[in-house]
Structure 1
Amino acid sequence: MSDGRSANPYSGENLLFLTDEQLRQGIEAMFFAYRGFTADPDRILADMAYGRAHHRAVHFINRAPGTTVNNLLNILGVTKQSLNRVLRTLIADGLVESRVGQTDKRERHLYLTEAGHALEQTLSDAQRARMRAAFRDAGPNAVAGFRTVLEAMMDSELRHAYTRLKDAAS
């Protein structure tokens, strides 16, 4: 355009005033993207009679080895009963190890076993491949914008938990 504005209908300036229809399209894109993002791990987990709750537990135990059951409850936002069901299965199948806390014997610290690490690696490899391809296709500006949008969608408490996890990994 001759006035210096981008002709792209999805440029930053045009996205400041989204219509309900554009927002609906974004919501639907998120639903379908999530289905794609979880499809490969879902297939792997189905063979083991596991679901997404198992995947999330394995993922976050891997990200924070030694995390407590209470911390995992907070990260996942599930009930204690639901998490206990998942952890019992993962422990019985030799993927997660639960250790009594050194300072507080009531705490249970969670670690992946060698088999747990192998499963986590398989699941993460599938998701990383999908993310890598999408990020490569979208380009660095879109990747930065995507992360900004995701973080802006988080409630402040979740954003703090996300930031703590991100900082702990650095």
Structure 2
Amino acid sequence: MVESKTPANPLFLRDEELRQGIELMFYAYRDFTFESDQQLKRYQLGRAHHRALYFIGRHPGHTVGHLLSILKVTKQSISRVLKDLLEQGYVEQKSGARDRRERLLWLTEKGIKLERELTDRQSARFARAYRETGADSVEGFRKVLLGLLDPAERAIVDKRVRVPR
């Protein structure tokens, strides 16, 4: 583990402390995604498919436009991902009741099962890290992650992910 020799002063972070954070984020993301990536390969799917499955599962019945706003990808790339997921039976799409042009998305039973398998692995990794570091660290980590977001996105994302207490 990369450790700083002195506690960080939040007002005067040194370049080395910032680089350590960036490096740890790269390593953590690598390990966070590794098991799911291996499983996705068996289905000829990738990370973009996993992200779509995850957010469709978190926001069932929302529009393709909503998914685009969360993932911040092009219509072309989400179309390819959704085409794969629809053809393989992981996602179903319905027209909106008020606006027939709207495409509303849900996971099928098959999609729910795959999303759960993928997310359970990552949840276990988070649970272990949270147990090892304690409640104060969990809240601090949440604040750091929110701080990494663009300022305009923070309130939107914080509202979406806030856990009821």
Question: Partner of 1:109 in structure 2?
Answer: 104
Is structure 2 residue 76 aligned with structure 1 residue 81? Answer: yes
| Higher Rg of the two aligned structures | 1
What is the Cα deviation at residue 109 of structure 1?
0.1
Check conservation: 1:75, 1:161, Cα contact below 8 A.
no
What is the Cα deviation at residue 126 of structure 1?
0.2
CA deviations 1:65-106 (Å, max 9, x no partner) are 001001100100000000000000000000000000000011
Of 107, 116, 125, the residue aligned with 1:121 is 116
What is the Cα deviation at residue 163 of structure 1?
2.7
Question: Partner of 1:9 in structure 2?
Answer: 6
What is the Cα deviation at residue 45 of structure 1?
0.4
* TM-score, normalisation: structure 2: 0.91
Take 2:50 and 2:99, find their aligned partners in 1: how far apart are those partners? Answer: 28
Question: Partner of 1:49 in structure 2?
Answer: 44
Structure number with greater CO (CA < 8 Å, separation at least 6) is: 1
Take 2:63 and 2:151, find their aligned partners in 1: how far apart are those partners? Answer: 22
CA RMSD of aligned residues (A): 1.5
What is the Cα deviation at residue 148 of structure 1?
0.6
The number of residue pairs the alignment matches comes to: 160
Take 1:85 and 1:10, find their aligned partners in 2: how far apart are those partners? Answer: 46
Question: Partner of 2:62 in structure 1?
Answer: 67
* TM-score, normalisation: structure 1: 0.89
Take 1:166 and 1:107, find their aligned partners in 2: how far apart are those partners? Answer: 25
What is the Cα deviation at residue 157 of structure 1?
2.9
Question: Partner of 2:142 in structure 1?
Answer: 147
**1:145 aligns to what SS in structure 2?**
helix
Take 1:106 and 1:152, find their aligned partners in 2: how far apart are those partners? Answer: 36
**1:58 aligns to what SS in structure 2?**
helix
Q: Which runs of 5+ in 1 are unaligned?
A: 1-7
Of 21, 40, 46, the residue aligned with 1:26 is 21
More off after superposition, 101-110 vs 14-23: 14-23
What is the Cα deviation at residue 138 of structure 1?
1.1
Take 1:108 and 1:163, find their aligned partners in 2: how far apart are those partners? Answer: 26
What is the Cα deviation at residue 15 of structure 1?
4.0
% identical aligned pairs = 49
Q: Which runs of 5+ in 2 are unaligned?
A: none
**1:97 aligns to what SS in structure 2?**
strand
Large movers: runs of 4+ above 6 Å: none
